[in-house]
Structure 1
Amino acid sequence: MKQAFLTALVCSTICSLGAPLKVKGLRTESATNPIGVSNSPRLSWQLDSEERGNFQRAYEILAATTQEKLDEEKADLWATKKQQGAAKLLVSWQGKPLKKGQKVHWKVRVWDKQDRPSGWSKIATFVVGEQAKLLKPGRISGFESSSEKLNQLYRQSIANLEKRLDAFTEGDVAALGDGSAVHRSARAFLYHFDSVPHLTEWLRLMDSEITKDNFFPIYPGAQTTAPVSSDSGVLVTHPLWWMSGDAQPTRSRWDAYEGHIIAREAQDTLLKGTKWGGIADSENVAAEFIDLCYLGFSCRLILELALPAVQPQKAIRFQVYASRIRKSFERQFVNKDGSLKSKSQTGHVLALRSAVLNPEQKAKVLADLIALVTKNGSKVGPIGAHFLPGVLSLTGNQDLALKSLTSLNAEEQKNYTESGIAEWLMTFVAGIDTIAPGFNQVIISPRIPSNDSLSWVRAYHDSPTGQISVYWKKLSPDSALKAEVMIPTGALSRVILPIRKNQKITESGNEIADAKGVEIIERKDGKVSLITQSGKYSFLIK
């Protein structure tokens, strides 16, 4: 009896400590077992743990010329020994020099926060080569909701993205669309498909065909340039860095996209916006308006890219450009009361997202946009469809966003399914996003409608750090809300949920003060904001 008690006590103690970490998801240059990587590749892996707040304290990598040697732990290419640190994303190769055509086998083990070693991971491989061979991208997301209309938008958008990626993988360099289409879909590609290698290759092709005047082409293989599409050499770079966590392309490509923006300014020294490259008035918006907005948008993004590119001093040029663009836009397109001369919904959302308005003008333009959408529903083309849902969600108008998107005819629906609506579904409906590059710091902030247009959502995204999942459900009739989230091992998150004055929030039946790995940092304006460590959490607000 005493022995049984001691055995149970030991088992209970071990269980309370949690199992060691597990290593999974080995990748080389953001791809699984790739063929054609450089001779100085970067290695990544993910972690799995049942324990909240667990993390990697150290790691060890072994690499060998054959699987047999690796099985015997005879690392004839690289043996790091135990390295202190949490690095697990894009760890640079420090082993023996590699040759073209060489196949490398590698594996990893880690030590957790209590310095307990994991088992060795499964073996991964890569082959050194001059150019990467693209593989069919796998799905890395899921989404379903109580709204069949939203589910339909999701399915149609996924089918569109997959068709384009598959054709590009097979060698059709124009299959992703022109630069404008790729820019609108970039984050959707990255949310839903294992597409980092594909967008990286697309940008490489764009770089290889920069004109002698430093303009990007409208798409790889094209002989023409134009605003928006050519600007995608900048516009696609930002989401690729932000969602993959890979800053290397921002540095290696700086001269290319900096040169493009400088060339844009040299072509339009007064920064008035011009008709060039065949651009025409579109969606009831003047070509000059579109051109100037996208130049402003590009400057805003290149200012953000200057940090990972380690080019802070060069950012000053683009701050000056941005200021000049705002002043020019105001002179040409803004009325004295702060409203836009254009009455187009596309014009309003484009101005709001392109850093061309001051705060007072933004407030007026937003109010006018809400009035237009409330009166007429969604009346936008592809450009406006990319921005409208996000603008409404960001400004606290989720009810209106959902109403407009669930009232579309077939033609209007096509504009959205081809313009990145699957990104909006993940970011603002499911609420999955990142605060820092590569999802090391996750934000879970679903915009939950105040009406009955949407009662539940279930979604997941396999990020570079690991899988993030969300399930939220409105519990009638007392306006209660259930939210279950999973944060990848080694990551932190901020969770933001709606809450009323008379409501309280618990986690797995416990007061937040008594729950492990989570704390409230703010409660105001009808929202509660929490910080969590990694792990699974079940919140109830009632």
Structure 2
Amino acid sequence: MMMKKYLIILLVWFVSDVELALATAGESSLQPENLRCEYLENPIGLDEMSPRFNWTHKAGNVAAFGQKQTAYRIIVASEVRLLHQNKGDEWDSGWVNSDQMQQIEYKGKVLRSDRYYYWKVVVKDEKGLVSAWSKTAFWATGLLQQNDWKAKWIGTNELFDPSQKDCNISDPWLRKTFNLPQKPGKAVLFLASVGYHELYVNGKKVGDDVLSPAVTDHTKRARYVAYDIAAALKPGKNVIAIWLGTSWSIFGPYLTAGRPNTPIVIAQTAIYNTKTPVAGAKPTLVVQTDESWKTHASPSKLLGTWDFAKMGGELWDANQEIADWNTITCDEAKWSKVTVYQPDLILSAQTVEPNRLFDEIKAIGIESRPDGSYRVDMGVNFAGWTEVDLRGNKGDRIAFEYSEREQMDQTFNLHSAYIIGARGKGTFRNRFNYSSGRWIVIRGLKYKPQLSEIRGWMVRTNFQAATNFECSDTLQNWIYDKVKWTFQNLSIGGFVVDCPQRERLGYGGDAHATCETGMYNYKLGAFYTKWMQDWRDVQGTESIVGNMYDPEFARKKVMSGRLMNNGVLPHTAPTYSGGGGPAWGGIVVSLPWFVYQHEGDKRILEKNFELIRGWLSFLDSHTKDDILQRFGGDWDFLGDWLWPGATAQGMNNNKEETLCLNNSYRVFNLRTAAKIARVIGKDVEAEHWEQQAERCRAAIHARFYRAADHSYADSSMANLAAALLAEIPPADLRAAVMKRLEKDILVLHKGHINVGITGGAMLFKLLRQEGRDDLIYSMTSQKDYPSWGYMKANGATTIWEMWEKDLPGHSLLHSSYLYPGAWYIEGLAGIQRDPARPGFQDFIIKMPGLDQKQLSWARASFDSPAGQIKTAWRREAGRTELEVTVPPNCRGRLNLPEHMLREVIGERKYIKILEVKNGYGLVLLSSGKYIFKM
């Protein structure tokens, strides 16, 4: 008989009565803020013809409850002055009775190329009171049609020779001088390059982006970046200068007929006297790349060949410097004419944030070594730039070797060098490449450098952070911090690389291990929208494994590398290379669905529907009796990857466990695709995929189920998780299979994880869905091998590629095991998506199923697409306190144990019970801040 306890459950309001829930009489309770267009703040250069608007709300009274938008009005104007007069000459939505504040499409006049558009929004609150107008936001269009481009692709006549150990061509300078009669009012320069670029106007760099543009499939596309250069121009003589970096221009898989194996650029700007030229106005001058531009080799050159483990670094020869190369004073007498090229590339806008420098990293130690070199400890493993002040004699070559392993001078052939010039001093600084590691060995210096002379920066795509989290468990905090740091160091160029030092490839399988962690911790709507376009671009081509410049190896012995045009996908995008399996291509189904759930973005489902259909059709062509068969070469049908001890056991195999896992994953893809089809009204396809999933489910269960212990195939943790996630077990067996998974974790592996990248992503997804925080906590709280705690005990500052540390050739900064990052927010902080209404205007709060000894408190703030959600809970001396902040125009569904729910309901009329199920009940919370004491 249970001991009867006195349970007091209180709900504390931060106001004294209901009347205070309303803002001051006559004033709206809402104020629109955080205006975004296509997920970006005031973007320029968009080529989307129907851009979408998002905003959130600031509460007029932070102590109030029930703030809700009941209507909105958006106006878009061609000039700021018109907007200030509340005139929308481009579009006035009128009052729309809706609480929608996400993914609202522009429905005004047809957009024109190279124009600024200004917009703002006003709303009505729950009492019909009208808010103040939001602050002014804007976006600028790019060149909306391919025939808007009048410029020509230009570069040098130097071509890359892949037979060399290091790149044989210099990073070129290009420049153009011109005259202006007066200071311009408007001038936006659109610049696309194959290879990285920097833009200068009259000697000054434009923008603070680095390593631009975003990485793109240069067999099909080049992305242009828009730069507003009006402020940098002046009356009289001006110069526009462009510096190209070799980088991705010589990447083997991008080698195509018609495009030279060298960096090239196309750019143009129309310069107007007025800031807002009227329709049909002629520009004062058009400056564009053509044969009239001049070029000269720069002091910078790529070290390495931009290939597997040959990413190298940079060589700077100070003897080749020309101080005024980008100013009007430069003598062009020794400059050459550019070469004009005609590559067949689609030009489209870079609708993702650029790369930026973050987190200045200072050296913490320098060791003098017997061979005269110096070893610098930067204190943390990171991917990014380094800067070192140097002194020496003219011609001295100072070498830098980068390593992520303390016992090695150099890992993955990452190295750079600087040649001292006549001044006898200088500074090495990255420009068109980046390194990855913690330690730097400096060779060639005749003195010991000072700590203050060595600096570093992490480089990543400039998306915004969304979340803060911490809890009572220091190991969990360490894992969370290192998962986030690792994710950031992998997010370079508008996609997630597997590792920043060895490959820099965008693996689809690895994306499963990172994408929900990414979305729960960063604002990645634009980032993943861009990456999905990359996947559409690469469809129809098999992966390439090996040296692209050795056709015999790359195209015949390992994989064909030929165009297939039947829905096949390579295992990486936009990079083509690398091995994988069905779960790698399967990212094209799951990632759009996850983005839709997170952002409420139906367009990403619509744009990628044919991509999804093509991929599933390709898998169908390799299916027999409802079982997917092995296809492709040795590196085309991988299953789980990098589980504990995997390299010794053999990962790339033809065993039944691989076939089982890949078939389960295919069913997971089919079920997800059916959901996507239902959302966008493709009911015929949805029914087909639902029926197909059920047939395949039955076939998989019949072939692979092991009744003796309720497992599948080899009874591995990965196959148990995959089968459960794909709903393979019949309903009457599901609980038994789940119990078998629990035993596998807690008993057979003594609380440890025993999966890799693919299996781990599915395992954590499953356990989050099932609310099994206890099982996830068991795996994340271990401190011996294999575990994240083992990484911590071995001095890790980033998450490794493998559970083992010291296997040679493997990365210590990798995308493999980042999947706990979503659980900290969704599980421990308890902030969960509402599957019935994507986008977080409705969301669920559920405290984790852990006891006080495991975790006594946790708190998080999450800038969701709909506003900032906060939770904080604490368990102490048999009492539980929970704080929840529901943002304006949102609703939280609080999930509480049923016996507690009965005590709460009836206490306050403002709490509405929604359902009671499986021992838990859901109550509805309108916007406001709540404290529950239980």
Deviation at 1:167, TM superposition (A): 4.0
SS in structure 2 of the partner of residue 439 of structure 1:
coil
Deviation at 1:164, TM superposition (A): 2.0
**Residues 231 and 391 (structure 1 numbering): CA distance in 2 closer, same or farther, change over 3 Å?**
closer
CA distance in 1, matches of 2:625, 2:532: 29
**Residues 244 and 11 (structure 1 numbering): CA distance in 2 closer, same or farther, change over 3 Å?**
closer
CA distance in 2, matches of 1:390, 1:495: 21
| Matched ranges for 1:355-504 at <5 A | 355-375=727-747, 376=749, 377=751, 378-395=753-770, 397-409=772-784, 412-413=787-788, 414=799, 418-435=817-834, 436-476=837-877, 479-498=878-897
CA distance in 1, matches of 2:725, 2:843: 23
Write out per-residue CA displacement over residues 441-477 of structure 1, whole angstroms, 9 at most, x where no aligned residue: 111112231341101110122112111111111121x
Deviation at 1:24, TM superposition (A): 0.7
CA distance in 2, matches of 1:11, 1:473: 28
Amino acid at match of 1:267: H
User: Which sits farther off after the overlay, 33-42 or 283-292?
Assistant: 283-292
- 1:104 paired residue among 113, 117, 131: 117
Deviation at 1:524, TM superposition (A): 6.8
CA distance in 2, matches of 1:242, 1:392: 18
Structure 1 residue 44 corresponds to structure 2 residue 54: yes
| Residue 520 (structure 2) aligns with | 191
| Matched ranges for 1:86-485 at <5 A | 86-129=99-142, 130-135=348-353, 136-168=462-494, 175=504, 177-211=506-540, 212-220=565-573, 221-222=575-576, 226-277=581-632, 278=635, 279-280=637-638, 282=640, 283=643, 286-337=657-708, 338-375=710-747, 376=749, 377=751, 378-395=753-770, 397-409=772-784, 412-413=787-788, 414=799, 418-435=817-834, 436-476=837-877, 479-485=878-884
CA distance in 2, matches of 1:85, 1:465: 14
**Residues 326 and 537 (structure 1 numbering): CA distance in 2 closer, same or farther, change over 3 Å?**
same
SS in structure 1 of the partner of residue 719 of structure 2:
helix
**Residues 16 and 456 (structure 1 numbering): CA distance in 2 closer, same or farther, change over 3 Å?**
farther
SS in structure 1 of the partner of residue 624 of structure 2:
coil
**Residues 92 and 428 (structure 1 numbering): CA distance in 2 closer, same or farther, change over 3 Å?**
same
CA distance in 1, matches of 2:915, 2:49: 48
SS in structure 1 of the partner of residue 678 of structure 2:
coil
CA distance in 1, matches of 2:72, 2:603: 23
Residues 271, 292 of structure 1: 8 Å contact kept: no
Deviation at 1:208, TM superposition (A): 1.2
CA distance in 1, matches of 2:73, 2:630: 57
CA distance in 2, matches of 1:368, 1:443: 29
Residues 480, 540 of structure 1: 8 Å contact kept: yes
Residues 393, 447 of structure 1: 8 Å contact kept: no
Amino acid at match of 1:356: I
- 1:83 paired residue among 96, 115, 128: 96
Deviation at 1:428, TM superposition (A): 1.3
Write out per-residue CA displacement over residues 478-503 of structure 1, whole angstroms, 9 at most, x where no aligned residue: x22111111222222210124657x9
- 1:33 paired residue among 36, 42, 48: 42
Residues 497, 527 of structure 1: 8 Å contact kept: yes
Write out per-residue CA displacement over residues 409-467 of structure 1, whole angstroms, 9 at most, x where no aligned residue: 47632469733211111111111112121112111112231341101110122112111
User: Which sits farther off after the overlay, 268-277 or 155-164?
Assistant: 268-277
Residues 768, 826 of structure 2: 8 Å contact kept: no
Residues 522, 528 of structure 1: 8 Å contact kept: yes
| Residue 509 (structure 1) aligns with | none
SS in structure 1 of the partner of residue 139 of structure 2:
strand
Structure 1 residue 24 corresponds to structure 2 residue 353: no
SS in structure 2 of the partner of residue 214 of structure 1:
coil
Deviation at 1:400, TM superposition (A): 3.4
SS in structure 2 of the partner of residue 83 of structure 1:
coil
CA distance in 1, matches of 2:99, 2:770: 36
| Residue 68 (structure 2) aligns with | 55
Residues 434, 440 of structure 1: 8 Å contact kept: no
**Residues 269 and 429 (structure 1 numbering): CA distance in 2 closer, same or farther, change over 3 Å?**
same
Residues 442, 487 of structure 1: 8 Å contact kept: no
Write out per-residue CA displacement over residues 109-133 of structure 1, whole angstroms, 9 at most, x where no aligned residue: 1111211111111111112124234
**Residues 386 and 179 (structure 1 numbering): CA distance in 2 closer, same or farther, change over 3 Å?**
same
User: Which sits farther off after the overlay, 375-384 or 77-86?
Assistant: 77-86
Where in structure 2 are there 5+ consecutive unaligned residues? 1-18, 143-347, 354-461, 541-564, 647-655, 789-798, 804-814
Tell me the percent identity.
Answer: 23
Normalised by the size of structure 2, how large is the TM-score? 0.53
CA distance in 2, matches of 1:526, 1:268: 42
Deviation at 1:27, TM superposition (A): 0.9
More helix by share: 1
CA distance in 2, matches of 1:170, 1:451: 37
**Residues 393 and 236 (structure 1 numbering): CA distance in 2 closer, same or farther, change over 3 Å?**
closer
Amino acid at match of 2:83: L
Amino acid at match of 2:924: I
- Looking at CA atoms only, which structure, 1 or 2, has the larger radius of gyration? 2
CA distance in 1, matches of 2:885, 2:608: 35
Deviation at 1:229, TM superposition (A): 0.7
Write out per-residue CA displacement over residues 48-70 of structure 1, whole angstroms, 9 at most, x where no aligned residue: 22332221122222222233432
CA distance in 2, matches of 1:132, 1:35: 10
CA distance in 2, matches of 1:121, 1:150: 40
SS in structure 1 of the partner of residue 787 of structure 2:
helix
CA distance in 2, matches of 1:171, 1:452: 38
SS in structure 1 of the partner of residue 844 of structure 2:
strand
RMSD: 2.8
User: Which sits farther off after the overlay, 514-523 or 379-388?
Assistant: 514-523
CA distance in 2, matches of 1:267, 1:170: 29
CA distance in 2, matches of 1:516, 1:471: 24
Amino acid at match of 1:132: Q
SS in structure 1 of the partner of residue 706 of structure 2:
coil
More strand by share: 2
**Residues 83 and 524 (structure 1 numbering): CA distance in 2 closer, same or farther, change over 3 Å?**
closer
Write out per-residue CA displacement over residues 62-89 of structure 1, whole angstroms, 9 at most, x where no aligned residue: 2222334323434332233433332321
Report 1 or 2 for greater relative contact order, CA contacts < 8 Å, sequence distance ≥ 6: 1
SS in structure 2 of the partner of residue 154 of structure 1:
helix
Amino acid at match of 1:194: K
Residues 860, 871 of structure 2: 8 Å contact kept: yes
**Residues 20 and 261 (structure 1 numbering): CA distance in 2 closer, same or farther, change over 3 Å?**
same
Residues 56, 86 of structure 1: 8 Å contact kept: yes
